[in-house]
């Protein structure tokens, strides 16, 4: 007998909460029409600690703020020579030291390998424990190349490519990015639970 799918009904569409317009642009491109969602620009305070805990806490805060289902994400750039740092703190390292400063952090090490990690958290409402979905892309840190309009894209060259994320077309980045890999899992979750908003069609 085929397993019956659980029908998950939400009272409202999922709100993707972020203060980062570039993230939103990519999330929209990757999700397309697959999940009905709306977005809200809000810069939430962030806990310190492990990426999953930071992402989950952001989701709890966002769900409280919105009073409904939310999706958030936290992105890390992790250097293997530094045991994963700067990780979730890359925003501040980038802001204070730039691409060159991030490269210089690895000057004392031969190992320039790194990975980009995206942790999405979905909270179905303020009383629900957030669920996480992670995506990871391996690569290395290089001197900046390509357009500098999104964060550390110019210094991250994924494994198997001669180009940095910033030198790629958006479509190319979105095929292999940390964000794409995490969102594939989010989509799968929505598919498995046969998600349907209460009022409308998917």
Ligand X SMILES: O=c1[nH]c(=O)c2ncn([C@@H]3O[C@H](COP(=O)(O)OP(=O)(O)OP(=O)(O)O)[C@@H](O)[C@H]3O)c2[nH]1
Q: Which positions lie near ligand X, rule CB under 6 A? A: 18-20, 23, 43, 46, 73-75, 90-91, 94, 150-153, 165, 179
Confirm whether residue 92 is marked as ligand binding: no
CB 68 within 8 A of CB 122: no
- Provide the token pair at 143: 């001197």
User: SS3 for 72?
Assistant: strand
For residue 88, give the H/E element and its range: none
11 is in an annotated binding site: no
Looking at beta carbons only, is 115 or 165 nearer to ligand X? 165
Q: What are phi and psi of 91, to 5 degrees?
A: -55, -45
The smaller minimum CB distance to ligand X, of residues 60 and 197, is found at 60
Nearest Cα residue to 27 out of 152, 150, 142, 143: 150
CB of 128 to ligand X, least distance (A): 20
Determine if residue 99 is labeled as part of a ligand binding site.
Answer: no
How far is Cα of residue 44 from the mean position of the Cα atoms in its chain? Answer: 15
Binding residues: 18-23, 46, 58, 74-75, 150-153, 173, 178-179
Binding residues for Mg(2+): 46, 74
Binding residues for ITP: 18-23, 58, 74-75, 150-153, 173, 178-179
């Amino acid at each position: 007998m085929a397993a019956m799918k659980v029908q998950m009904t939400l009272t409202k569409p999922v709100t993707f909460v972020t203060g980062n317009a570039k993230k939103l642009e990519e999330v929209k491109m990757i999700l397309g029409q697959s999940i009905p969602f709306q977005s809200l620009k809000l810069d939430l305070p962030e806990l310190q600690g492990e990426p999953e805990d930071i992402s989950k806490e952001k989701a709890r805060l966002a769900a409280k703020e919105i009073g409904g289902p939310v999706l958030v994400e936290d992105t890390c750039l992790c250097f293997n020579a530094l045991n994963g740092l700067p990780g979730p703190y890359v925003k501040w390292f980038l802001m204070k030291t730039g691409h060159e400063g991030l490269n210089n952090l690895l000057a004392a090490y031969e190992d320039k390998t790194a990975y980009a990690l995206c942790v999405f958290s979905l909270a179905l409402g303020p009383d629900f424990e957030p669920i996480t979905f992670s995506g990871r892309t391996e690569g290395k840190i290089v001197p900046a190349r390509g357009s500098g309009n999104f964060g550390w894209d110019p210094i991250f060259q994924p494994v198997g490519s001669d180009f940095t994320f910033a030198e790629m077309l958006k479509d190319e980045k979105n095929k292999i990015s940390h964000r794409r890999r995490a969102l594939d899992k989010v989509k799968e979750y929505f598919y498995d639970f046969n998600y349907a908003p209460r009022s409308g069609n998917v």
